[in-house]
Amino acid sequence: MKELSVNHLIGIKYIQKSDIDLIFETADHFKEVINRPIKKVPSLRDITIANVFFENSTRTKLSFELAQKRLSADVISFSAAQSSVKKGETLIDTVNNILSMKVDMVVMRHANPGAAHFLSQNVKASIINAGDGAHEHPTQALLDSYTIRESLGDVAGKKVVIVGDILHSRVALSNIFTYQKLGAQVTVCGPKSLIPKHIESLNVKVETNFIGSVIINNQIQDGCNKKLVGFKLTEKSIPRKGYKIFT
């Protein structure tokens, strides 16, 4: 039976291509499961998972909880706003208190970059990073790459442009690592003020203009090409969070 090379999912930076391939193969199987009339399987039966969110979340938190329950895990949810964190309890103390209830895994979102890595070094449970500051959001990047794989057949050899606020986006960094591990060429595009310094060291291209044909939803938009060539991006011209265009 294949196994991941890591015990934690802290960031895409720390996993191998073989791990991504195994996750995608497993997702292929469970995609068939969720299309059944009964969408529940016993894969995580007798496993207790704590969703520990120090930031507000809707889609990520609900997605994790729904997946966990469909895999038959026992789920407990933690909200910092209604906890002893408000009284000064530290991150490690908070999580250790939760782990004392015989929790096997922690899914955590935290405002501070590196919080998930720090936690993985100080507690015994497996840690899944659901977003740490502007650092990484590995599960979102895996989903993005899986979607490209389903739509275009393979990520390898594709040219991916990540457009928007790259500086403050934790998803952007995870996407860069994922696409590169899967063999894609990555370009980031946005105003210079929203592009991290030295990002070229990650072997990505940097653009501030849209140049060339644009493919959206697998269809070439002929009219878009003329409109976008030479279009200058400013902070006002893009949404706060990044979005992706495939070329």
**For a pLDDT cut of 70, what percent of the chain falls above it?**
84
Residue 227 clears pLDDT 50, i.e. is over it? no
Give the per-residue pLDDT at 83. Answer: 72
Q: Which residues are identified as catalytic?
A: 59-60, 87, 109, 137
- pLDDT tens-digit series, residues 6-63: 999 999 999 999 999 999 999 999 988 888 999 899 999 999 999 999 888 889 999 9
pTM: 0.82
Helices (H), the chain: 17-33, 59-70, 91-99, 115-120, 138-152, 170-181, 222-228
What pLDDT does residue 242 have? 45
Q: Of 125, 129, 106, 100, nearest to 117 (Cα)? A: 129
Q: What is the pLDDT at residue 235?
A: 54
Question: Look-up: residue for tokens 């990650």?
Answer: 202
More confident: 158 or 241 = 158
Contacts 24+ apart (CB under 8 A), 83-90: 85/54
In whole angstroms, what is the distance from residue 29 CA to residue 25 CA? Answer: 7
Tokens 């250790």 sit on residue? 96
Instruction: Provide the pLDDT for residue 94.
Output: 86
What percent of the chain shows pLDDT beyond 90? 62
Cα 42–Cα 142–Cα 37 angle in degrees, nearest 5: 35
Mean pLDDT (whole number) for 98-118 = 92
pLDDT of residue 196: 92
